[in-house]
Structure 1
Amino acid sequence: MLPDCTHHSQAAGGQPRQHEIRNLSWIGLKWADKKQPRVICLENVKQILQYGPLITECDPATGRVVTRDRIRHPTKPKKFVNRVADVGEQVPVHNQFLVPDPKRKGQIWRRFMQLLEGMGYEVEWEVGRASYYGAPTSRERLFMIARCDGQPYHRTGYPLARDVTDRIKPRLAGEASEAAPALTQTA
């Protein structure tokens, strides 16, 4: 399960963009409830742990709503800022600049975990470097495994992805492996 990370990532300030995309995790839950897969894996940015309700950003000087409209900064013409609503202007929710409610950080993530557990899944998660799992990046990511079959999360005796990838000999594009049969072209 890979819910979209752009709404939780630190990149671009983590500004939620579309309500429907931000809530893709719930589609995963609906699917899990319907199909009951034995194992569910989730990988995402670690900031998803802070997934909670959103509130409207207000301008500290005026108390008015900050919109998603981008305008040139009044004194720095090369810089763009979000427009503050005019006095009395009613801004539709889809055009309000939304930010996570600091008082309710993690509330939706915790509810997501509770619902998985309520469906009979044992859930484990951890934050770790993606390179530890074989990805070519040192970024920290959230890794979650949920199982409903009573089996252990990790089998002893099996190598970790990073141990295997460290032993793979680099190859040039198109070069065949000694272990793999050569591909032949048939007409």
Structure 2
Amino acid sequence: MKKTFLTALLAAVVAAPAFAAPAVYTVDDKHTFPRFSYSHFGFSTQLSRFNKTTGTVTLDAANRTGEVDVTIDTTSVDTGSELFDGHIQGADFLDTANHPTATFKSTKVTFNGDMPATIEGNLTLKGITRPVTLTVTSFKAMPHPMVKKPALGANATTVIKRSDFNAGKYAPNVGDEVTLDIAIEAIQM
């Protein structure tokens, strides 16, 4: 009886760190689309997205910590118009010839209970890095029903100023404030 109890206790102690270890998830590029919207001369709110995103999300649910490291291919901008895609990629806006990617690297994740609430980090766009705080509006972690691996998904939002990233042409007529909405899914590999 003593030997069985001690064996079980030892097994539990050895296994405990494995359950508490941070898990790394790879961004699912088929379900991760950063979107941006802005006022167009006050006539309408234009909505566009980027079609290619890579990166990782690290989550330690037990300790309520995490990290996000994402790279957006800015040449994959999708406005719904090929002509306007080229315009947005120009030097006055994204300048994709010189800066083909944008990155976000978290510096702090704050939790509300078991759910990430805010993600602070550094956004680099056109070679300019500025701190931003993403507000997480939804979050779910569970086994993915199709690939049978642990997965997570979230939506987060923030507002930036184009002029802070040397992309403020036509402001204020074309809104300087841009709302970023990020829909992300990631799978543990």
TM-score, shorter chain, exceeding 0.5: no
**TM score, norm. by length of structure 1:** 0.21
Q: Normalized per residue, which structure has more strand?
A: 2
| Greater radius of gyration (CA) | 1
**TM score, norm. by length of structure 2:** 0.21
